């Protein structure tokens, strides 16, 4: 398989022409023999990944010579609406080519990761086995090529997102999604975020090496930054070898990690309403800033699009029932409640979305009520009131001094970065 590594040489990123040429080169030797191809991009929650554009390019490149199907790697997220598909992929990709991944029903078990292995990689914290379940389409022999497209970026569950995570979580089933998320939560986010080698990544590596050998899989990995709302493609890594992921991680660590000399007292984060519609996604604002915020500090989340708890109704019910009460309390609740044991990813999420009482978290929303927000253990502020104090149109990324003299640290897009006090990384 052809391997391609391309990095931006200037401040503008890799151009569309350069991107298209790299995508062509990656399949040049195989294009004539391809009859059926499956594309696995992320969904709109990775709208700054460049993956929507890449998916559309590959669709246009292949549609006249073979059958192309697109299955967004949703994980537990809601299926994409037609509007979201148009916004992410553009108008060239027909809805008839898009299929939805159902993590509860459309899966097949392809192997099992032994409990002894999980125990060894988790420092003895957990010893359960993990059934490796993926969408049945990945095991369909009629596909000549399966192209997994996605962004390498700091992540709370696995350390650095993408590569085989796109398969085992994005296109995975209940067991591996639940147990990998819980493994990451128990092991500890601060020990993993921004790093390539973590217990969860080792679990995915085991599954990749042992159960996907016969799958005609190719990874297209991106590293991006955002400048004044424009996505810059900083790096492109195409192939199957893990070393390509490692190179992408190294570039992302350079481009997507921001180190601070001292902890921050007040952080204000804006969440684009097109991308963030549930608390399941809002927790990115928490985990990507938690290593930067001072003890007794404050995180204010401006979330105009958030309208529910959880992407999945069952998980949403659990969020409302137990709330974001911190790692220790959730682990105690987990031991005594079957519904958390059956939905381990929900328990993990409740850990990820909490500050463990170290700093306060305020939701500034308009589509959830004060009772909703306070009911899950957050502070509430109306979005209108928040905009009067912290107007996104007037704030710059980084430190800002407000008219009243208060200093805040503003983040316009938490999805592509990780902020940390140097002493905590």
Distances in whole angstroms, Cα of residue 222 to Cα of each of 73, 159, 212, 284, 340: 15, 16, 22, 19, 34
What is the architecture, at CATH level 2, of domain 4-256? 3-Layer(aba) Sandwich (3.40)
Tell me the C-alpha distance between 319 and 376, whole Å: 7
Note whether 4-256 and 261-424 share their fold.
Answer: no
- pTM score, two decimals? 0.88
Tell me the C-alpha distance between 313 and 75, whole Å: 14
| Tokens 């608390």 belong to residue | 279
Of 329, 271, 260, 339, the closest CA to residue 299 belongs to 271
Q: What is the fold of 261-424?
A: 2-enoyl-CoA Hydratase; Chain A, domain 1 (3.90.226)
Locate the domains of the chain by residue range.
Answer: 4-256, 261-424
- What is the full per-residue pLDDT of the chain (425 aa) written as tens digits? 789 999 998 778 999 999 999 999 999 988 889 999 999 999 888 888 999 999 999 999 999 999 999 999 998 888 899 999 999 999 999 999 999 999 989 999 999 999 999 999 999 999 999 999 999 999 999 999 999 999 999 998 999 999 999 999 999 999 999 999 999 999 998 899 999 999 999 999 999 999 999 999 999 999 999 876 788 999 999 999 999 999 999 999 999 999 999 999 999 999 988 877 777 677 889 999 999 999 999 999 999 998 988 777 888 899 999 999 999 999 999 999 999 999 998 899 899 899 999 999 999 999 999 999 999 999 999 999 999 999 999 999 999 999 999 999 999 988 889 999 888 76
How many C-beta neighbours within 10 Å does residue 261 have? 7
Of 122, 255, 269, 148, the closest CA to residue 194 belongs to 255
């Amino acid at each position: 398989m052809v391997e391609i590594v391309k990095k931006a040489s200037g401040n503008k990123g890799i151009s569309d022409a350069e991107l298209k040429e790299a995508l062509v080169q990656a399949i040049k030797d195989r294009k004539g023999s391809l009859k059926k191809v499956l594309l696995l991009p992320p969904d709109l929650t990775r709208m700054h990944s460049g993956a929507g554009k890449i998916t559309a390019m590959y669709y246009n490149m292949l549609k006249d010579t073979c059958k192309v199907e697109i299955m967004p790697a949703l994980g537990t997220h809601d299926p994409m609406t037609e509007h979201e598909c148009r916004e992410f992929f553009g108008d060239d990709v027909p809805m008839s080519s898009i299929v939805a991944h159902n993590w509860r029903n459309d899966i097949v078990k392809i192997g099992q990761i032994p409990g002894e292995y999980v125990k060894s990689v988790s420092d003895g914290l957990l010893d359960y086995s993990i059934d490796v379940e993926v969408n049945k389409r990945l095991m369909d022999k009629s596909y000549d090529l399966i192209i997994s497209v996605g962004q390498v970026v700091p992540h709370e569950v696995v350390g650095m997102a993408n590569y085989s995570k796109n398969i085992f979580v994005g296109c995975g089933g209940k067991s591996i999604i639940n147990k990998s998320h819980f493994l990451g939560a128990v092991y500890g986010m601060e020990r993993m975020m921004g790093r390539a080698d973590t217990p969860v990544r080792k679990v995915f590596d085991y599954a990749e090496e042992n159960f996907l050998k016969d799958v005609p899989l190719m990874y297209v990995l991106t590293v991006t930054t955002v400048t004044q709302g424009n996505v810059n493609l900083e790096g492109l890594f195409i192939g199957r070898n893990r070393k390509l992921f490692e190179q992408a991680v190294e570039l992302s660590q350079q481009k997507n990690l921001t180190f601070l000399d001292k902890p921050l007292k007040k952080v204000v984060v804006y969440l684009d309403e097109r991308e963030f519609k549930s608390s399941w996604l809002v927790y990115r604002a928490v985990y990507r800033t938690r290593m930067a915020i001072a003890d007794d500090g404050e995180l204010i989340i401006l979330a105009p699009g958030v309208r529910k708890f959880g992407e999945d109704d069952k998980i949403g019910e659990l969020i409302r029932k137990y709330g974001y009460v911190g790692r220790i309390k959730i682990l105690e609740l987990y031991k005594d409640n079957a519904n958390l044991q059956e939905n381990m990813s929900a328990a993990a999420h409740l850990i990820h979305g909490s500050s463990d009482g170290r700093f306060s978290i305020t939701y500034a929303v308009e589509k959830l009520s004060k009772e909703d927000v306070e009911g899950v253990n957050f502070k509430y502020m109306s979005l209108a009131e928040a905009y009067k104090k912290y107007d996104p149109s007037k704030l710059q990324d980084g430190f800002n001094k407000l008219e009243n003299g208060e200093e805040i640290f503003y983040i316009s897009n938490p999805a592509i970065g990780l902020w940390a006090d140097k002493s905590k990384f």
